């Protein structure tokens, strides 16, 4: 039996074949009616026959769901406390980057900015006064600090010389020793292996072999010692010397601090006062910056193009607890979702495929998408991804299991697409070409498998068939029928099946 193909390409539509068959049936029916020579049963039988032909048809998987945007931005209220909406853009509007979406009442924010600016000016004046006091006191201790600073500088130089000189030299020495030991061990190891072969042939004495083994063991011990020396230096000696050098620097710095501590109390007091003034000024500036940012946050602009959707619309929930739609005068709080901006330029169909068919769906397969709102428009697309886990059908159908499939849309045909629009998709998984095929309604199930009723002079012969790939409308015939055969599209009328007629006649 022919294997099912899973490669994908666009095939020629079977519509012309179907239309031709339909036209033939209509001609026959008109002829019979106009001639008056046929009965109503004969007319009905002719219209229920399908002529077997060679052609091609697409194998597709239907799916349904809704549109969604690949990219969307959520804009939330970043004001502290609550605020009132003074201006808001209409929902559903298409906006560009930088367009104003929402304006919030900024009166309280501006009042806080004015108060913060006055506090910054006062704090700055205080810093200037404390700076002058500290400069005067600092002159009297410069000589004592200079001596301590020299000791600190020398300790830093000693630490730098150790890091860039002694440490580098020691590491190079250890690396050279290790490399030499590795090469020596490898050489003696190979020599020992050769000696083993020579000894087996009695080319050398046992004593010579043992001497080579001893030399190899010594080289191996030297290699282990070199590795150990390197590890000991990195883990212990280096850390010990580093602590000593850093300790010398730390002690010199501590001595500098102690010298500063021993200076007059007025120096320390002026320094503390200056630090406090600087800290106070920094705090006032930070508060002013926060208030200025809050003023900026009173105007919400679009960071990217998209379509305006109110946060209250996206929120969901039951009808009786839905939040009231945003409007001028609405009270909002910090971090409340204001606007969602889906980018309608890049849309995809989020559809559901039954678990039994999901194994045939792969990323990259072509598909067509039709929206309920624009039923006459068919958009092209491709499968972007298939969900990893199946989703249940909920309380309405707990036994149903579907996989979520994302179908990216290649062309929008300038349609005003919006998220959540209902849509249907047909995912092309295969194309059957150059094959005998018949409508699926002509296939029946018998005790021996699939069969069709083959027309034979007004009667119908049950004929076993071997079937291949199938779609919702057609099925491939691999054996049992030939081109030109006519098969019945429904159950045969009583007394018209050849086997049954033969048995009745024999009886």
pLDDT at 52: 93
The closest alpha carbon to 412, from 373, 378, 365, belongs to: 378
CA dist 403 → 384, 387, 388, 396, 408 (Å): 13, 6, 8, 17, 16
Could you tell me where the beta strands, DSSP code E, fall in 256-377?
299-301, 306-307, 309-310, 331-333, 337-342, 347-354, 366-371
Task: Give 6's pLDDT tier (boundaries 50, 70, 90).
Answer: very low
Q: In whole angstroms, what is the distance from residue 289 CA to residue 447 CA?
A: 85
CATH number for 15-56+434-506 (one of 3.90.1490.10, 2.40.30.30, 3.60.15.10, 2.40.420.20): it is: 2.40.420.20
pLDDT at 16: 32
Beta-carbon neighbour count of residue 37 at 10 Å?
A: 9
Report, as an integer, the average pLDDT of 405-418. 88
CATH 2.40.50.100 fits 72-105+298-341, yes or no: yes
pLDDT at 325: 80
Q: Which two tokens stand for residue 190?
A: 């190979």
pLDDT at 9: 30
Chain position carrying tokens 């009695």: 202
Exposed/middle/buried for residue 22 (C-beta within 10 Å: 0-12, 13-18, 19+): exposed
Report, as an integer, the average pLDDT of 69-81. 88
User: Mind listing the pLDDT tens digit for each residue in 112-135?
Assistant: 999 999 999 999 999 999 999 888
pLDDT at 46: 58
pLDDT at 27: 30
User: Mind listing the pLDDT tens digit for each residue in 425-459?
Assistant: 999 988 889 999 999 999 998 888 899 999 988 89
pLDDT at 33: 31
User: Mind listing the pLDDT tens digit for each residue in 284-316?
Assistant: 999 999 999 999 999 999 998 888 999 888 765
pTM over 0.85: no
User: Mind listing the pLDDT tens digit for each residue in 309-366?
Assistant: 998 887 654 444 456 788 898 898 999 999 999 988 888 999 999 888 888 899 999 9
> Which sequence spans correspond to the domains of the chain?
15-56+434-506, 72-105+298-341, 141-263
Q: Which two tokens stand for residue 366?
A: 């072509």
CA dist 391 → 183, 322, 388, 449 (Å): 64, 26, 10, 34
Top pLDDT among 500 and 157 is at 157
Top pLDDT among 245 and 14 is at 245
Whether the pLDDT of residue 461 is over 50: the answer is: yes
The secondary structure of 119-152, three-state, reads: HHHHHHHHHHHHHHHHHHHHHCCHHHHHHHHHHH
The closest alpha carbon to 192, from 161, 218, 227, belongs to: 218
Q: For 484, phi and psi rounded to 5 degrees?
A: 95, -15
Report, as an integer, the average pLDDT of 153-167. 89
Whether the pLDDT of residue 13 is over 70: the answer is: no
Mean pLDDT of all residues belonging to the chain: 83
pLDDT at 323: 60
CB-based contact 465:450 (threshold 8 Å): yes
Top pLDDT among 1 and 267 is at 267
Give me the residues paired with residue 383 across strands.
407
pLDDT at 167: 87
Task: Lowest mean pLDDT of 9-18, 40-49, 340-349, 368-377, name the range.
Answer: 9-18
Report, as an integer, the average pLDDT of 417-425. 90
Whether the pLDDT of residue 34 is over 80: the answer is: no
Strand 337-342 and strand 309-310: pairing? Answer: antiparallel
């Amino acid at each position: 039996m022919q294997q099912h193909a899973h490669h994908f390409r666009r095939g020629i539509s079977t519509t012309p074949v179907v239309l031709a068959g339909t036209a033939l049936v209509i001609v026959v029916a008109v002829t019979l009616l106009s001639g008056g020579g046929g009965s109503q049963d004969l007319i009905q039988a002719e219209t229920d026959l399908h002529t077997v032909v060679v052609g091609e048809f697409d194998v597709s998987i239907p799916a349904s769901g809704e549109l969604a945007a690949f990219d969307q931005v959520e804009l939330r209220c970043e004001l502290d406390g609550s605020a009132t909406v003074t201006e808001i853009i209409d929902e559903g509007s298409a906006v560009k980057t930088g367009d104003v979406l929402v304006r919030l009442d900024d009166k309280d924010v501006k009042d806080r900015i004015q108060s913060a600016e006055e506090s910054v000016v006062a704090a700055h004046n205080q810093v200037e006064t404390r700076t002058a006091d500290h400069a005067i006191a600092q002159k009297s201790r410069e000589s004592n600090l200079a001596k301590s600073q020299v000791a600190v500088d020398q300790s830093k130089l000693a630490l730098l010389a150790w890091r860039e000189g002694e440490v580098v030299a020691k590491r190079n020495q250890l690396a050279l020793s290790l490399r030499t030991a590795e090469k020596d061990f490898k050489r003696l190891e190979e020599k020992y292996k050769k000696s083993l072969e020579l000894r087996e042939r009695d080319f050398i004495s046992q004593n010579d072999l043992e001497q080579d083994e001893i030399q190899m063991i010594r080289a191996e011990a030297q290699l282990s010692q070199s590795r150990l020396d390197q590890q000991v230096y990195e883990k212990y000696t280096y850390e010990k010397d580093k602590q000593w050098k850093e300790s010398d620097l730390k002690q010199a710095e501590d001595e500098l601090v102690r010298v500063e501590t021993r200076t007059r109390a007025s120096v320390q007091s002026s320094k503390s006062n200056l630090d406090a003034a600087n800290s106070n000024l920094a705090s006032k500036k930070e508060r002013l910056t926060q208030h200025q940012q809050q003023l900026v946050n009173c105007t919400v602009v679009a960071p990217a193009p998209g379509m305006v959707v109110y946060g209250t619309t996206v929120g969901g929930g039951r009808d009786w607890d839905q939040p009231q739609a945003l409007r001028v005068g609405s009270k909002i709080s910090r971090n409340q979702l204001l606007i969602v901006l889906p980018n309608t330029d890049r849309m995809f169909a989020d559809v559901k495929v039954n678990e039994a068919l999901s194994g045939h769906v792969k990323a990259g397969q072509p598909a067509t998408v039709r929206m309920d709102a624009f039923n006459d428009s068919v958009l092209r697309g491709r499968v972007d991804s298939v969900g990893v886990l199946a989703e249940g059908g909920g309380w309405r159908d707990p036994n149903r299991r579907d996989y979520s499939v994302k179908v990216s849309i290649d062309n929008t045909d300038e349609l005003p697409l919006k998220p959540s629009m209902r849509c249907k998709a047909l995912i092309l998984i295969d194309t059957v070409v150059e094959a005998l095929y018949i409508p699926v309604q002509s296939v029946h199930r018998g005790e021996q498998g699939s069969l069709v009723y083959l027309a034979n002079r007004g009667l119908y012969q049950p004929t076993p068939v071997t079937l291949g790939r199938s779609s919702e409308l057609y099925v491939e015939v691999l054996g049992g029928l030939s081109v030109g055969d006519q098969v019945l599209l429904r159950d045969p009328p009583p007394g018209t099946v050849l086997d049954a007629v033969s048995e009745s006649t024999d009886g």
